[in-house]
Amino acid sequence: MANTEYGDISPRTAAFAAKEMLKRGIPYLVLEKFGQARPLANKSSKVQKFRRYSSLALATTALTEGVTPTAKQLAAVDVTATLQQYGDLVTISDVIIDTHEDPVLREASEVLGEQAAQTIETIRFNVLKAGTNVQYSNGTARNAVNTEMTLADQRKATRTLKRQNGRAITSVVKSTPSYGTEAVAPSYVGLIHPDMDAIIRGFAGFVPVEKYGTMTPHEGEIGKVEDVRYVCSTIFASFANGGGTKGAMIGTSAADVYPTLIVARDAYGIVPLKGGASLSPAVVNPKPSDSDPLAQRGHVSWKSMQTAVILNDAFMVRIESSVTD
Question: Do both 44 and 163 map to the same domain?
Answer: no
Q: What is the pLDDT of residue 139?
A: 95
pLDDT band at 19 (very low <50, low <70, confident <90, very high): low
Mean pLDDT value of segment 207-222: 92
Range name among 10-14, 37-41, 182-186 with the lowest pLDDT average: 10-14
Question: Do both 44 and 95 map to the same domain?
Answer: yes
Mean pLDDT value of segment 116-126: 93
Going by C-alpha positions, the residue among 61, 96, 7, 81 that lies closest to residue 305 is 81
CA distance 23 to 90: 18
pLDDT tens, position by position, 133-159 = 999 999 999 999 999 999 999 999 999
Question: Do both 299 and 171 map to the same domain?
Answer: no
Range name among 73-77, 151-155, 175-179, 237-241 with the lowest pLDDT average: 175-179
Whether 268 has a pLDDT exceeding 90, the answer reads yes
- pTM of the model as a whole: 0.84
Whether 283 has a pLDDT exceeding 70, the answer reads yes
Q: Are 207 and 185 in contact (CB under 8 A)?
A: no
Domain presence at residue 1: no
pLDDT above 90 as % of the chain? 51
Domain count, the chain: 2
Residue that wins the pLDDT comparison between 47 and 322: 322
Question: Do both 110 and 254 map to the same domain?
Answer: no
Q: Which of 27-31, 53-57, 84-88 has the highest mean pLDDT?
A: 84-88
Mean pLDDT value of segment 254-273: 94
* CATH code at position 280: 3.30.2400
Question: Do both 18 and 160 map to the same domain?
Answer: no
Going by C-alpha positions, the residue among 33, 26, 30 that lies closest to residue 235 is 30
Q: What is the pLDDT of residue 161?
A: 97
Strand partners, 208: 223
| Owning domain of residue 24 | 11-53+77-127+271-310
Concatenate the DSSP letters of all residues of 234-288 into one string.
TTS--BTT-SS--TTBSBSSSB-BEEEEEE-TTSEEEEEBSSTT-EEEEEE----
